[in-house]
């Protein structure tokens, strides 16, 4: 039996994490294998965080920040978008696959959107199967 995909969700404090909190408070279900790490802003994501997550056996990394124009630090989400685009190429080169890294936006009131994105990403990872690094983690 194929194991359920393990996902690391890097969420900004002001929007992504609040949306996840809203989903929880509203009892909107999303996969339990989504592990959330709260950061002040997605702009502070270091490429090492993402690569380390795969090294530790996660099947996917989800970055959820503020919508464009809403970042509390002006452009952190735009920097994160550039970073995730660049990292997708690195993941392709490493044979992990660019589809295993996804960036989305969700505002404080978008708990249902957080749950929808987490569920969709889990389904994508189910179709892809376990990360090639999962076996060696």
Contact positions vs ligand FES (CB under 6 A): 12, 14-15, 41-43, 65-66, 71-73, 76-77
Of 68 and 129, nearer to ligand FES (C-beta) is: 68
How distant, in Å, are the alpha carbons of 64, 112, 115, 119 from that of 24?
16, 10, 9, 14
User: Minimum Å distance from CB 107 to ligand FES?
Assistant: 9
User: Minimum Å distance from CB 80 to ligand FES?
Assistant: 6
How many residues does the structure list for the chain? Answer: 137
Of 12 and 96, nearer to ligand FES (C-beta) is: 12
Radius of gyration of the chain (CA): 14
Token output for 22: 């809203």
User: Minimum Å distance from CB 66 to ligand FES?
Assistant: 3
Q: Which residue has the tokens 């589809």?
A: 99
Query: Please, are residues 62 and 17 in contact by the beta-carbon 8 Å criterion?
Result: no
Of 5 and 65, nearer to ligand FES (C-beta) is: 65
């Amino acid at each position: 039996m194929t194991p359920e995909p393990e996902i690391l969700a890097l969420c900004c404090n002001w929007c992504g994490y609040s949306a996840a909190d809203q989903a929880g408070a509203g009892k909107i279900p999303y996969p339990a294998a989504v592990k959330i790490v709260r950061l002040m802003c997605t702009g502070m994501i270091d490429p090492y965080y993402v690569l380390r997550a795969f090294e530790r056996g996660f099947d996917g990394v989800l970055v959820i920040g503020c919508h464009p124009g809403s970042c509390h630090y002006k452009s952190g989400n735009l920097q994160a978008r550039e970073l995730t685009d660049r990292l997708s190429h690195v993941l392709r080169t490493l044979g992990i696959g660019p589809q295993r890294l996804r960036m989305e936006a969700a505002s404080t009131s978008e708990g249902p959107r957080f749950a929808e994105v987490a569920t969709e990403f889990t389904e994508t990872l189910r179709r892809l199967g376990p990360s090639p690094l999962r076996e060696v983690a």
